[in-house]
Amino acid sequence: MLYRQRTLETPHGDLETPVLFPVSNVGKRSSDNTPAYADQIPDLRTAMVNARAIRQREPQWERLLDGSSLRQEMGVPDDTIVFADSGGFDFHTETLDTTPEKTLETQIRIDADVFGTVDLPLSREDRQAKNQRRINESIQYALAASDAHEGDSLLFASVHGHDPETVRNSIRYLDRHGDFDGFALGSLVPIRTDYRKTTKLILAARLATDKPLHVYGLGGLVYQPLLLYLGVDTFDSSSFIRSAGNRNYLIPGFGGREMHRIEGLEYLPCPCPVCGPRTTEAVRADRNLLVQHNLWALTIELRRFRYMIAAGEDIESYLELRFQGNDVTHRAYRMAKQQVRRLA
């Protein structure tokens, strides 16, 4: 097992890892907005934001330029630790409309603690030459950010690759030629159902550096235990929002269940502050409650893993139990275990 714990110093306080950064769609007025959670979940003083999206929301950006703080806009405590990525996922389909310097300027303006460098995610549909060009451009954007970056915020170089050698070489090259506090591995969401490939890429990144490793977009209920087992330090997820949009109820250890299939049950099995005092029908009828519960589910998943570590329990036995109800995720864990054990 490659699980590890460490403390990262950030401008807004110490960050104890491993930790989840819930995606915060700050400023959005649509149905996929992020609910308030900072006051409800005490160990979740983190948020992942999209620097490009914030800058493009003109009224909000004007308020930030006039002196409002991002944390005020989000309605979270001042000590909330914010990871601001470049909005690279948008560049999967849209033309790059920023520069490393402009993205840094935005990240500084919103007072983020962790900066993700400008990146161009890969596509399974694109030709290899195009993906290689995007990999190279992301590396150059990261080096440009390294040259321009100063201050106490952490700079994580965004890295892409669809084979372990590319991921490993990219990280080592950036480590030699730039000044980075950590690395952030992307382009995994489109291939997330290919567990063998995904875990190999994460392992390649983990073994290429001892610096903190973030994985973009895979911090959901299924992948979270695998990320912890593979030694990933930080991760983000919007699955609690997307699942609620599909009326899926997340249950640690079981995954998502469609709420319309839950019948004849007055109370749900989760004792979280959302579900505990409410009936099944009340949670089913209120999407915001479902989003809040789903975020609690992600937190509980992480708490359970931390508890097993603290109690000195056999993590591999725990994960065998954790994944035994689903053949796909069970095979994924078995593959990850084989890969890790070959390293021992």
pLDDT tens track for 6-35: 999 999 999 999 999 999 876 555 555 676
This prediction's pTM = 0.94
Beta-ladder partners of 328: none
pLDDT tens track for 179-224: 999 999 999 999 999 988 999 999 999 999 999 999 999 999 989 9
pLDDT tens track for 287-341: 999 999 999 999 999 999 999 999 999 999 999 988 887 888 888 889 889 888 8
pLDDT tops 60 at residue 42: yes
* pLDDT (mean) for 71-80: 90
pLDDT tens track for 146-169: 999 999 999 999 999 999 999 999
Cα gap 199→201, rounded to integer Å: 5
Looking at residue 213, its pLDDT comes to: 98
pLDDT tens track for 91-128: 877 888 899 999 999 999 999 999 999 999 998 777 88
Average pLDDT over the chain, rounded to whole?
91
What would the DSSP string read from start to end of 164-228? HHHHHHHHHHHHHHS--SEEEE-S-GGGTT-HHHHHHHHHHHHHH-SS-EEETT--STTHHHHHH
pLDDT classification of 226: cutoffs 50, 70, 90: very high
pLDDT tops 60 at residue 143: yes
pLDDT tops 70 at residue 253: yes
* pLDDT (mean) for 275-280: 96
Looking at residue 25, its pLDDT comes to: 78
Virtual torsion, Cα 292, 253, 239, 64, nearest 10 deg: 50
What separation, in Å, do the N-terminal and C-terminal C-alpha atoms of the chain show?
Answer: 9
Looking at residue 177, its pLDDT comes to: 97
Looking at residue 138, its pLDDT comes to: 96
